[in-house]
Structures are given as C-alpha cells and as structure tokens.
A = this chain, B = another copy of it.
Amino acid sequence: MKLATLKTGRDGELIVVSRDLGRAVRATEIALTLQQAIENWDELSPQLEALYTRLNEDHVEGAFDLDMASLHSPLPRTYHWADGSAYLNHVQLVRRARNAEMPETFWTDPLMYQGGGDKFLAPTEDIEAISETHGIDFEGEIAVITDDVPMAVTPEQAAEHIKLVMLVNDVSLRGLIPGELAKGFGFFQAKPASAFSPICVTPDELGDAWQDGKVHLPLTVHLNGEKFGEPEAGPDMIFSFPQLVAHAARTRCLGAGAIIGSGTVSNPDADGGPGKPVADGGVGYSCLAEVRMVETILHGEAKTPFMRFGDRVRIEMFDRQGQSLFGAIDQQVVQYDPQ
C-alpha cells in the first residue's frame, strides 16, 4: 500500500496513492491523517489496504490524478524523529574530514541522534537558510515509520513495528557541526528541518528489495540536474532498521508515528576505498560532505562547494523496472527572508 498527505493544516489530509503513483483518493472516511492511521494501525490498515486495492483496479469513486506538488511529507510533523548513521562508510569519511578517528565500537553500537519533528519541509519545498557560509548540505536517506514500540524490544520484535518506508533529505549545515559537536550535546542548529519523499509505502510494496530489514535498491541523487549518486542502500547498511528501532527503544517506549532514519546512504569501493564520483565511474554519493572528503584525499583540497542559493537537489528511488517508488524529494536552497 502507498500513502501520502495532502498539504492542508498542520497535519495534512491522508490519501491512498496507486502503485504507479498516478492516481489517488482521499482516505478521510478511514483516517483524517497519517498520524491517526498509524495510531490505530491494526484496525485501520486493512481498510486502507482495501481502498488501495480498489484504487489500483480503478474501481473507486472520488479518485483523482495525483499532483506531486500538492503533497506534504507523509507526516508533516511527528513526536519522534531520530536518525541513525548506519552506513559506516559515510561516518568514516565525514570523520576523516574532521580529523576524527572512528572507534571500533561503531561497528556494534549504532550512532543515532534525536532530531526536531515539529515542522518538516514538504518534499518540494524550498530549503531556507540564513547563510551559505553554514555549509548547506543534503543527506539522502531511507526512513521508517513505526507504530507504538514498547521499551527494550529485541530487533526481532522491533521488526513487527515497522509499518511504512520512505525517503528523507536530512538537511545538514556542515559549517555548524564541528563547533556544535565539540560542545558534547550533539547536533542541534546544524540539523534544520528535514523533508521526506511524497509517498510512503508498506514494506511489502518493496517485494524482494525489502530483506533483512533493509532496502536493497539504489538511491538516486541529482544535483542541479546532474546525476550525483546512485549508491546501493542494502549491502553497506551495517545496522538494519529493526536494529535501529530497537536501539531507539532501549530505555524508553516509542510513540506511534516515530520516524527512524538510516543515515546517509554510502558505498565504499569494491577494494574498500572511499568510493568514486559518478563522473569517474563510481556510484557517487548522497551528500556533498563525502565528495569533498574524497577530493581532499585525492587532490589535497575539496573542489565541490556546499549548496549555494539557487542550487537544487533531487532524491528518489526506482525499482528494478525503473518505476519511482516514493516520488521525488526535489528542493531548492534559498536565502531565508525574515520579512
């Protein structure tokens, strides 16, 4: 089943979307919002699935052509947004950029930070930033939405609570990160509002690509219309989503609608190297920080700038037949105008 949220009010309006993303129908007779649906998932998801089946068969009244621009992030806000960093190739690279070693425990104990969930950006909404000197970067990632997760679940138990999958652009202000992390309390101002893909899907929609709690498909990233990366999301994800959810719930329960992110998708080279740009025959990257680090290693300095006002990033994922699964995150960076 595929779900999305029309932009209305703070929480939007839940719609069911056809498998090919072409058509949609309001789900408001079942649940007004995705938050309401996820809070009552066992009761409501069969009704939503039935509507989805009828929509795919073109047997539903009130269906309409889907306009991606009308969509907000599936959850326009959430009570819990936590982002892991499960692709350790990314962690190793960004830490090298900061001259920081990666401890061995990172292979067994997931990194995760708590983010602000009060006002996500829509998938095609501008990224407003105060200054280019903040080092504006995108991070292409996958995320899951859970229902209520009890405290101290095992990864096996956590897997049962993963109800929906989507993409995320975890916008990062690289220039603020070193100073903020040096204070010891983790990211805060360096992680402004994230945006999510217009569509979220149940794991069964991914078919064979959903295995071991990971999505085994490439994540496609374009920067200003040029392909920037197509890393595989499956093989190098060191911690699966069930492991990440269990990590988040170790000392507290999670409320329905919790979003847990994978961290920036990143592949090392086959020989264990840090990965090559697309132009050099590599799979590229899902964030600018990585290419800048590789450039520094190869050429002594970073050539690729961080995002400037007017730059545009597009993040999407296709199945093996080339069909877009989640629609695209497609955002331009603009200068914040306080009016």
| 8 Å CB contact of A338 from B105, B151, B183, B254 | B151
**Cβ contacts A59-90/B at 8 Å (1 or 0 each):** 00000000000000000011110100100000
The reply to whether the CB of A303 lies closer than 8 angstroms to some CB of chain B is no
Instruction: Decide if B183 touches A109 in the complex (CB within 8 Å).
Output: yes
Number of interface residues of A (CB under 8 A): 55
The reply to whether the CB of A317 lies closer than 8 angstroms to some CB of chain B is no
- A280 to chain B minimum Cβ distance, whole angstroms, is 30
**Identical subunits present:** 2
Give A134-150 interface residues, CB cut-off 8 Å to B: 134, 150
- Docked Cα-Cα span, A258 to B338, in Å, equals 20
The reply to whether the CB of A202 lies closer than 8 angstroms to some CB of chain B is no
Question: Which residues of B are found within 8 Å of A336, using beta-carbon distances?
Answer: 151-152
Question: Which residues of B are found within 8 Å of A190, using beta-carbon distances?
Answer: 251
Question: Which residues of B are found within 8 Å of A251, using beta-carbon distances?
Answer: 129-130, 134, 173, 176, 189-190, 192
Question: Which residues of B are found within 8 Å of A112, using beta-carbon distances?
Answer: 185, 188
Query: CB-nearest residue of chain B relative to A184?
Result: B181
Question: Which residues of B are found within 8 Å of A252, using beta-carbon distances?
Answer: 116, 119, 192-193
Q: Which of A77, A176, A251 has the most CB of B within 10 A?
A: A251
Q: Which of A185, A187, A188, A252 has the most CB of B within 10 A?
A: A252
Q: A128-B151, A192-B252 are in contact. Are A118 and B258 (CB under 8 A)?
A: yes
The reply to whether the CB of A155 lies closer than 8 angstroms to some CB of chain B is no
The reply to whether the CB of A324 lies closer than 8 angstroms to some CB of chain B is no
Q: A185-B111, A188-B82 are in contact. Are A152 and B257 (CB under 8 A)?
A: no
The reply to whether the CB of A277 lies closer than 8 angstroms to some CB of chain B is no
Which chain A residues have a beta carbon within 8 Å of chain B's beta carbons? 10, 39, 77-80, 82, 85, 100, 103, 105-106, 109, 111-119, 128-130, 134, 150-152, 173, 176, 181-190, 192-193, 247-248, 250-255, 257-258, 336, 338
18 additional A-B pairs beyond A85-B185, A130-B251, A188-B248, beta carbons within 8 Å, are: A10-B39, A10-B255, A78-B79, A78-B118, A79-B119, A100-B184, A103-B182, A111-B184, A112-B188, A113-B188, A114-B115, A114-B187, A114-B188, A118-B257, A119-B254, A129-B251, A130-B152, A190-B251
